Every structure is written in structure tokens, then in C-alpha cells.
Amino acid sequence: MGMNDFRKLIVASGLRMYDMNLTVGTWGNISLRDTETGRIYLTPSGMNYHQCCSDDIVVCDASGAIIEGERVPTIEKDLHVGIYQKRPDVNAIVHTHPIYSLVFATLGEDIPLVIDEAAQLLGDTVRCAEYALPGTTELAENCLKALGDKSNACLLKSHGAVCVAGNMDMAFVIATVLEQTAQVYYMGRAIGNPQPLSEKDILCMQDFVKNRYGQRK
């Protein structure tokens, strides 16, 4: 993909996030990493997703230094850059504000892997990061701690969710599965005590998706 392709994908992904009700207003943010150059493409701060265009996308290098774009980048730039530095498996990040995930974020509670889709794709228990103000180094550090080395999603206390993946399409799958899991867990707790899948079953499901699911290549 060329630079313009990355920019266009960020713009399209912002609309996708908004239209999927994964955020409201100008909240949330999105980024992509170009694996060939190490460049990171970010949504601008506080811009309406339906008014954002390719020229509004901000580009930084692997250290977080802005190298292209006239707009102010998302205030969570350091959070995105920090994840890319720690997780070489991640090339796309979607920071969302969906309602059921926010319920558990306000409670400061983790979301266990209670359904097969969560076990297959979320990587690990969805942990809630300790609270920090938006846009701070502390928030970025707390997010990295909650994600760890293998989880594909975490909650930000009283704020939202962060979903990571190797590409943008999968990042949106992760975001969708996280919100579905949060809703199921919320509803399950309303009438009972939903139990997380066992570690053995989680590992089995992850192996199934990685090695045996879908059409043989």
C-alpha cells in the first residue's frame, strides 16, 4: 500500500467506527502502521469523521515524531506509538467508546472470555487499565500494562476500549467481538453467574482458529 492508500484507509475506518456505533461524536481514534517504513498513520484530534479527508491524516515515525500532516494528531498518539513499540504483531489499533464495554470500564472490571468467539480472538482476559487522564503518558503506560503481550483488547477505566490486530479488518472484528462479549456478559450477570471458559478450552479454540478453521490453503 502507498501513503495515499494508508490515509484513505484511516478515513474510511473512521466512518466505519462511527457507523458501527463503536463511538459517538468525535471520540475515539484509529491508527495504522506501515510495516515496510515503520510510519504510523493517525486520525486527527477532534475532527468530525464525516468531514475528515486524506489530507487531515497525521503521520509520525516509529518514535512518535510527526513527519507529515498539518493537523494536530489524536491526543492518544503516545498510546498508539507505545503499543506499536511493544507489540510487533500489531499493525492496526482502534480505540472505541461502545456502550457495553463502557459499562465494565466504568466499574473498573475485567471482561472474562465467556464465549467461544472471545476465546478465539481476544487473546486473553480483557483487563481494565487503571484510570488516568486522556492524552497522558500515564494512560498510555496503563494501557500497555493491561494489554500485556498477548491480549488483543483492553478497557480504559471510565473511558473506553482499545483493540489491536495485525490489520484493520481484524481490528474491527476484535472490536465487534469485544462489544458482543461485553453485552453477553452483562446480560448473563443480570440473571446468573456466567463462567469463563477454562484455560485448556481457550488454548484449544485459539489453536483451532489458527490452524484448522476455514478452507485449507
Which residues are known to be catalytic?
76
In the chain, DSSP assigns E strands to 29-33, 40-42, 58-60, 66-68, 92-96, 127-129, 153-156, 160-165
**Which one-letter DSSP state was computed for residue 198?**
P
Angle of CA points 45, 12, 43, to nearest 5°: 15
- Find, among 111, 100, 121, the residue nearest to 154 by Cα: 111
Grid cell at residue 15 = 466512518
Alpha helices, H only, 28-165: 77-86, 99-107, 116-121, 137-147
The single-letter code of the amino acid at 105 is: A
